[in-house]
Amino acid sequence: MRNVYLVTATQPATLRQSKTVQGASVNATRQLFSSVVLATCFTSAALAQQSPVPVLVEQVREQAVERSLPLNGRVHSRHDASLSLTLSGQLEWVLEPGTLVRKGEVIGQLDQQPILLRKAELSHLAQREQVNGAYLDKELVRLKRLMEANNASERLVDESESQRDISRLELRSLQARIAQLDDELRRSRLVAPFSGVIAQRLKRGGEYVNPGEPIARLVDLEQLELRFQVPVSYLGRLQVNQQVAFAAQGGQLLGETPPTQQSTVRTIIPAADSNSQTFEVRADIDSSGSGTVIAGQLVNVSLQISSGKATVQIPRDAIVLRSEGNYVFRIDEKDKAHRVPVEVGEGSTAWVSVRGKLSRGDWVAVRGLERLQDGQTVMRRES
């Protein structure tokens, strides 16, 4: 009887190691996939369970872009005059520079003595003519009575009446000359045509002046205007009553920031300077701010110029700037945040035009963006 042996083949060691490595790789892949799925589910569940993020929102608008055009300007007084007299003579006195005057007050005066002497002479002549006229009136009445009694001729009556009429005309002439002297007395005083300050005294007491020769310069401190030059290419972009912001120059030297003030365009002068190719604009300065600037002062002007073409605009604070691209968070009607990529265009200080999937009336988040994620629920609050 033979012995039968059962022989079992033994696998090589390298083959066993290869199968072991392949099994471990499959298990690792399965574990990684399970981890990703679990992480995704956990993140979604976490977002769903998080409390709404408070954000400040602003509505998207559609309008023309306004650019701020920096310009230089100067403050002028609307009433700035070199005052003179219409008479010649010796000045008696003129007010000191810096003196505040009201409309109608006397600034300076000529020596009135020569005029007063002539007036006194004519007044005496007029009084004498009045006495003579009264005598001639009585004489005419007496001659008429005599003529009625046939004791005087008609020729005598006519001569008396003629003398009476000549006396009356002479009296009127003297009165007219006296009125002229009164007018000269009035015009010998330099009167302020408006309220202001004596900015310059060009003549002093004792000097002789001719008609029309400047004596003093008067400047109104209240009614101020801003004058600045604008390039002709912007002529069609300006409007009367448009607001113009400005600030005084020079405060930076003292470490101060001059306050920004407002003015209103009153006049646009459509005549260009042939050298600078600019036209002049004049704007009224609000009387409440007239005390902070003075006539002749240089100012920095910030003129808002509209592009004329309406574009979609959002606040600058709504844009999230990243190296991979800029985006905003649009808030839908269910208070869900949606990340929207945008391209930034032109804009002003606070608002900027953008291109992206945004429309007029949409709401975008402008505050609270730091913790906001796509698809997250928010608690909106309008700015």
Q: Which CATH architecture has domain 69-78+221-307?
A: Beta Barrel (2.40)
Q: Which CATH architecture has domain 52-65+309-382?
A: Beta Barrel (2.40)
The span from the CA of 195 to the CA of 20, in Å, is 106
Helices 113-148 and 154-187 cross at an angle (nearest 10°) of 160
* Most trustworthy range by pLDDT among 11-20, 111-120, 152-161, 286-295: 111-120
Which DSSP helix (H) or strand (E) runs through 20? Answer: helix 13-49
Q: Quote the pLDDT of residue 357.
A: 92
The span from the CA of 284 to the CA of 265, in Å, is 6
Average pLDDT, the chain: 85
Average pLDDT over residues 66-75: 90
Q: Which CATH architecture has domain 82-218?
A: Beta Barrel (2.40)
Average pLDDT over residues 262-278: 95
- Whether the predicted pLDDT of 46 surpasses 80: no
pLDDT range class, residue 290, cuts 50, 70, 90: low
pLDDT range class, residue 32, cuts 50, 70, 90: very low
